[in-house]
Structure 1
Amino acid sequence: MATSKRDTLIVGLRNAYGLEGQALSTMENVHSRLEHYPDLKAAIGQHIEETRRQQQMVEQLLNRFGESPSTLKEATMKLAANIQAMMHSVAGDEVLKNLFTLYSFEHFEQASYRSLIAMAEECGETEVVQTCREILRQEEAAGQKLGGMIESITKAYLQREASGTEAGR
């Protein structure tokens, strides 16, 4: 059975809404546990606020089509974020694992929004294209910021670890 381009776009928007929920859960978990890395904590705090707005923007796009987010999809994705946070919390290098996760997640989101832009262009949905491009720019900036912190956070982690002070979070 063939699916219309519009239907595929709506599924993609629902996925994006759930993805933003997963990102929020992941970042909120990491943010609440960070103790010794103030620059990382500040960057995550800023992106949490952006992500809340992004999720609202996606919800508005869905509403424009007379659709709503999938609560099951969002709940499932948030559960995945919570399980991942629990797994990282027992690791000695929790801060590094969380940083890598957040960095890779930003790139996953970028790929998702690039795909949504292509879908929306095929459907002639210029408002969706514009909104997704705006969100994509924010995701790219967040990815660059996190990527730029990998070396400094790693070095700070190593210094704390070598001095015998709490380094993991």
Structure 2
Amino acid sequence: MAAETHDIFITGLRNAHAMENQALAMLQPQANRIRNYPKVASRILQHIAETEGQIQRLERLLGDRNETHSSFKDMVMSVVGGMGAIGHAVADDEILKNSLANFAFENYEIAAYNSLLALARELNLQEAIPLLEQNLDEEQAMAQWLQENLADVTLQYAGLRKAGLTAKR
């Protein structure tokens, strides 16, 4: 059972690595396009830096087990993330679509890290737990920030539209 659980853990680490690459592919275009929402842009830039750190921690966990990430999964998920960003860019309510998608994706990441933590605890991988917890904490903080700021972003968007200003981004 331990060998099977370990295999599931390694697959989960590879999936999380690909997931974080998808997050970067979603967030980086957003950060480059946001104009009227400086608070959102700032938080996205902060989370991009956090995401880069999360990728490094995942690579460390894989390397400690003589494993590597899946370049194929990373590439596919990056393309998927980029396509989502492109799809939202053509929408009049791009900022709202991005905000909703980001909130959903953060909660997906939270679930993934909770799953990895359960496996790490089952395998008694004490060195992995704090690294995974740090990733989880950052994802939870971003999800909380998005939740707390969604109403303000929505109302700012509506106010800009009402004033006849560019509200899109």
Shift of 1:134: 1.3
Q: Partner amino acid for 2:48? A: I
Match of 1:105 in 2: 105
Deviation at 1:129, TM superposition (A): 1.6
Corresponding residue for residue 73 of structure 1: 73
The one-letter amino acid paired with 2:146 is: L
Residue 44 of structure 1 deviates from its aligned partner by 0.4
- Structure 1 segments (4+ residues) deviating >4 Å: none
| Within-5 A mapping of 1:2-151 | 4-151=4-151
Query: 1:99-132: CA deviations, max 9, x gaps?
Result: 1111111111000000000011111111112211
The whole-number CA distance in structure 1 between the counterparts of 2:58 and 2:82 is 22
Deviation at residue 147 of structure 1 after TM alignment: 1.1
Counterpart Cα distance in 1 of 2:113 and 2:105: 12
Post-superposition Cα deviations, 1:40-81, rounded to whole Å, max 9, x if no partner, equal: 000001111011001000000000000000000000000001
Once the two structures are superposed, what CA deviation does each residue of 1:86-106 show, in whole Å capped at 9, x if it has no partner? 111111000000011111111
Structure 2 CA distance for aligned equivalents of residues 55 and 40 of structure 1: 22
Query: Aligned partners of 1:106, 1:83: CA distance in 2, in Å?
Result: 18
The two structures have a TM-score, normalised by structure 2, of 0.97
Alpha-carbon shift at residue 146 of structure 1 (Å) = 1.2
Unaligned stretches of 5+ residues in structure 2: none
- Which letter does structure 1 place at the counterpart of 2:63? N
Aligned Cα root-mean-square deviation (Å): 0.9
Please give the alpha-carbon distance, in whole angstroms, between the structure 1 residues aligned to 2:75 and 2:86: 17
